[in-house]
């Protein structure tokens, strides 16, 4: 059974319709990319999955349960975390406090252990754990945002354009980390990316979205090598 199943959703803001009858799925432990031109509705799809907006029709199932009407905090409770593209850290809180907020819903006492794991993954964050997140560079903020999303050991992590605004060195580091997190029984990941090549290279599967509709679907390498996809969306 797929971990995440989006079935024919139509969604938008207010009266507008951005997504038309879009379907996709993520199997447990997979890395799935969503690529496509600007304005294709990739971010909207992510927001609909996470409950930041609700689909007008169609269903979204997570772990077998219908989550189409749930609020984000209820979805987090079920094991899905989200790394937004912008404003993804609490700028007034320290790195450590940001991680603690990631684990806000934690009931048992493993907070320190979890923080330790994030620090192992991102040693730079350990050095700067008492620094205000607002004072950090784009790449460091991205690390904080990812770390916070991982605190609850989610089954699925949504990432909205992780490479946005980062230097090439940082982008490489972030994608290496994504792979590392996913390896060995790590969480499944759904990544919306502008940098289609980089994302597809490490994805198990991918979807191409354009004008709010499904265009192509396939394996990561499959889409990467598809000449039509390449011509239209991978910049040649």
Partner 1 sequence: MTNENATIAAGPDAGPPAQERVSKEGAVGNNRRPLYLAILAVFVLFWVLGLWAGKSTTTLLNLTVEGIMLGGILALGSMGLTLVYGVLKFANFAHGDLMTIGAFVAFALMQVLPGSEAIASFSFGWGLLVAMVLAAPVVAAVALAVDFLLFRPLRRRGASVVLFTMASLAAMFFLRSVIYLIWGADYHFFYPGRANPAMHLPFGITLQADKIFIFVLALVVVGAVWILLERTRMGKAMRATANNPDLAQVRGINTERVIQWTWIIGGSMAAAGGVMYGLASQLRPEMGFVLLLPLFAGTILGGIGSPLGALVGALIIGIAFQLSSGFIDPTYGPGVAFLLMILVLIIRPQGMFTMGGD
Judged by the rule CB under 8 A, the positions of this chain that interact with partner 1 are: 50, 52, 71-73, 76-77, 82, 84, 87-93, 97, 100-102, 104-105, 134, 148, 152
Q: How remote is the C-alpha of 75 from its chain's centroid?
A: 14
Instruction: State the nearest-atom distance from the C-beta of 51 to partner 1, in Å.
Output: 9
Instruction: State the nearest-atom distance from the C-beta of 9 to partner 1, in Å.
Output: 20
Nearest residue (CB) to partner 1, 50 versus 233: 50
Nearest residue (CB) to partner 1, 77 versus 228: 77
Nearest residue (CB) to partner 1, 72 versus 222: 72
Ranges of beta strands (E only) in the chain are 4-11, 19-26, 31-35, 57-62, 65-66, 80-83, 156-160, 188-192, 205-210, 213-219
For 58, the token pair is 């169609």
Instruction: State the nearest-atom distance from the C-beta of 27 to partner 1, in Å.
Output: 24
Instruction: State the nearest-atom distance from the C-beta of 113 to partner 1, in Å.
Output: 17
Instruction: State the nearest-atom distance from the C-beta of 105 to partner 1, in Å.
Output: 5
Nearest residue (CB) to partner 1, 93 versus 210: 93
Q: With both helix axes pointing from N to C terminus, report the angle between 138-150 and 111-121 in degrees, rounded to the nearest 10.
A: 140
Which three-class secondary structure state does DSSP give residue 197? helix
Q: Which residue reads 């290279």 in tokens?
A: 201
Nearest residue (CB) to partner 1, 152 versus 234: 152
User: How many other C-beta atoms lie within 10 A of the C-beta of residue 61?
Assistant: 17
CA 69 – CA 76 distance, rounded (Å) = 14
């Amino acid at each position: 059974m797929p971990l995440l199943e989006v079935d024919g959703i139509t969604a938008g803001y207010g009266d507008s319709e951005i997504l038309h009858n879009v379907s996709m799925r993520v199997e447990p432990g997979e890395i799935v990319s969503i690529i496509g031109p600007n304005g294709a509705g990739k971010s909207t799809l992510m927001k609909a999955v996470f409950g930041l907006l609700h689909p007008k029709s169609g269903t979204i199932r997570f772990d077998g349960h219908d989550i189409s009407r749930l609020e984000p905090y209820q979805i987090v409770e079920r094991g899905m975390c989200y790394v937004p593209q912008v404003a993804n850290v609490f700028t007034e809180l320290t790195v450590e406090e940001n991680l603690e907020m990631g684990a806000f819903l934690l009931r048992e006492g493993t907070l320190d252990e979890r923080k330790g794991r994030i620090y192992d993954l991102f040693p730079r964050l350990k050095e700067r754990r008492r620094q205000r997140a607002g004072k950090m560079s784009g790449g460091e903020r991205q690390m904080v945002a990812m770390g916070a999303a991982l605190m609850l050991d989610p089954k699925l992590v949504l990432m909205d354009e992780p490479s946005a605004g980062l230097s090439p060195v940082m982008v490489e580091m972030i994608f290496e980390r994504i792979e590392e997190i996913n390896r060995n029984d790590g969480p499944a990941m759904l990544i919306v990316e502008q940098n289609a090549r980089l994302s597809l290279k490490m994805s198990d599967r991918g979807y191409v979205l354009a004008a709010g509709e499904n265009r192509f679907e396939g394996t990561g390498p499959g889409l990467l090598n598809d000449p039509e996809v390449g011509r239209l969306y991978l910049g040649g």
